[in-house]
Amino acid sequence: MGIAYKRVLLKLSGEALMGNLGYGIDPGIVQQIAQEVAEVINSGIQLAIVVGGGNIFRGVKGASAGMDRATADYIGMIATVMNAMTLQDALEKIGIPTRVQSAIAMQEVAEPYIRRRAIRHLEKGRVVVFGAGSGNPFFTTDTTAALRAAEIDADVIFKATKVDGIYDSDPHTNPEAKRYQTLTYGHVLTHDLRVMDSTAIALCKENNIPIIVFDLSVRGNINRAVMGEAVGTLVGG
């Protein structure tokens, strides 16, 4: 099977970097993810990453504890920059040139988000990690993934999670739950299947960007997805 996608936007949740810890970053897991990313880059694929921040801080949680929502969201965005820098460090340690671009100005530690520059990095074989989400409160990093994928003209979004795809009910509580091989955007939206938030799904639908949802903890899965193997669930038109 040949390479199915040339430019990929990988969405990593903050929790993906947490491993089995209750909070923060597990360096071992980050190294593992970096190895998988390296395999993909070494096959000549262009890869951009949007990383979440839920392992450190979530705006909604801060707001429910009484904080101003926008302020809490900015803290959440800054948390994602820490994750982005952590990924950069792990990738560069194994020889993969990586640039972090932040949607909130942080020039001492990251480049500003500049679309054309991000594309140039990708063309040169560098990984681009987008930090600070979209730079706007009230959004999520899933929506950011859809937005950046559209901006850089990515062929596909890989949504790496803890489950091996999308089910018709929760596989943890229902042993009869069935996994979908493929789904339409419309089905995901009308059945409120919580793969990504509805803003993200709507943006992907509008721009015709397929989403592949798969289990990150299975070694080699990112590469399998790049090669067009049926891992997880494909959401498309």
Residue 76 makes contact with ligand UDP by CB under 6 A: yes
Considering beta carbons, is residue 133 or 165 the nearer one to ligand UDP? 133
Q: Is 54 in the site for ligand UDP (CB under 6 A)?
A: yes
Nearer to ligand UDP, 47 or 160 (CB): 160
CB of 1 to ligand UDP, least distance (A): 30
Task: Work out how close the CB of 135 gets to ligand UDP at its nearest, in angstroms, rounded to a whole number.
Answer: 6
Terminal C-alpha separation, the chain: 23
CA dihedral of residues 81, 49, 134, 13 (deg, nearest 10): -70
Contact 166, 136 (CB under 8 A): no
**Residue 233 in contact with ligand UDP, rule: CB under 6 A:** no
Residue 134 engages ligand UDP in binding (rule: CB under 6 A): yes
Question: Alpha-carbon distance 82 to 72, whole Å?
Answer: 16
Rounded distance, CA 81 to CA 65, Å? 23
Amino acid at 138: F
Please report, as a single letter, which amino acid is at residue 159: K
Tokens for 229, please give them.
């193997």
Residue 135 tokens, joined = 């730079």
Q: Is 139 in the site for ligand UDP (CB under 6 A)?
A: yes
- Site map (CB under 6 A) of ligand UDP, residues 110-129, x = contact: --------------------
Q: Of 190, 181, 194, 192, which is closest to residue 236 (Cα–Cα)?
A: 181
* Alpha-carbon dihedral sign for residues 42, 46, 52, 53: positive
Q: Any binding-site annotation on 54?
A: yes
Q: Does 15 bind ligand UDP (CB under 6 A)?
A: yes
Q: Where are the beta strands (DSSP E) in 171-232?
A: 182-184, 211-215
* Chosen residue from 46, 80, 161, 221 binding ligand UDP by CB under 6 A: 80
73 annotated as belonging to a binding site for a ligand = yes
Stretch that binds ligand UDP, among 32-40, 69-77, 91-99, 200-208 (CB under 6 A): 69-77
* 151 binds ligand UDP per the rule CB under 6 A: no
Whole-number Å distance between alpha carbons of 16 and 54: 9
Q: Site residues (CB under 6 A) for ligand UDP?
A: 13-15, 52-54, 58-60, 73, 76-77, 79-80, 133-134, 136-137, 139-142, 144
Annotated binding site: 11-14, 53-54, 58, 73, 134-141, 161, 167, 170
Annotated binding site for ATP: 11-14, 54, 58, 161, 167, 170
